[in-house]
Amino acid sequence: MISLTPSHIIEYLFCPRFTYFEYVLGIPQYEEKHFKVIKGREVHDLKLERNKEYLRKKIGVKEKWVDQYLTNESLRGKIDEVLLLDDNTMAPLDYKFAEYKDRIFETYKQQLICYALLIERNFGREVNRGYLVYVRSKNKLLEVQISDSDKQMIKETIEKISWIMEQNHYPKATKYKRRCLNCTYRNICTQ
């Protein structure tokens, strides 16, 4: 089976054709050039370095592991912080170079769910929530609930992506046509 990252999952859920164009045909999307991506990575690295010893007692953190690269049979990813909580469950924490605007983006939640699966597999502990830190909103900390159905949805998505990649399958485009307006692949995608 193919080893996927949370980015693969997020791109597929945005539009299944992302998977086809980037990973079957090998046409890159060149996200590296975007200012916010570059700046976000710089701030992210700085935050990890500064917060190495800091335990978030307010949310019940007993122990943490920083900058963890984890894998399982079908998924891999680097988690900013893996937290062991007072109730002996664990949780991923991810820094976002973003402002909080009264809603959590679905892509952020999807990323946390992927991390939850990795933590459960590698640490053998239950994960039922994750945390986001919004760097551009004075490091606002938000809790995100993660259900068993959320985890199942990600597992099913992994199977669908693997099938596209292994079978060279050209999937249907997203049903949300507004997503096509700024898509990297809009000029080559046949709607």
How do residues 67-105 score in pLDDT, each as one tens digit? Answer: 999 999 999 999 999 999 999 999 999 999 889 999 999
What number of other Cβ atoms are within 10 A of residue 22's Cβ? 17
pLDDT of res. 63: 94
What's the chain's average pLDDT? 88
Asked if the model's pLDDT at residue 38 lies above 70, the reply is: no
Is-contact 117 152, C-beta < 8 A?
Answer: no
Going from the C-alpha of 115 to that of each of 13, 70, 138, 142, the distances in angstroms are 16, 8, 24, 16
pLDDT one-digit tens code per residue, 108-136? 999 999 999 999 999 999 999 999 999 88
What pLDDT sits at residue 147? 98
If one compares 13 and 55, the residue with the highest pLDDT of the two is: 13
Q: How far, in Å, CA of 191 to CA of 183, rounded?
A: 12
Q: What is the pLDDT of residue 35?
A: 53
Residues in contact with 89: Cβ distance below 8 Å, sequence separation at least 6, in sequence order: 125, 126, 127, 128, 129
- Asked if 141 contacts 148 with a C-beta cutoff of 8 angstroms, the reply is no
Q: Residue 73 burial by CB count (10 A; 0-12/13-18/19+): exposed, middle or buried?
A: exposed
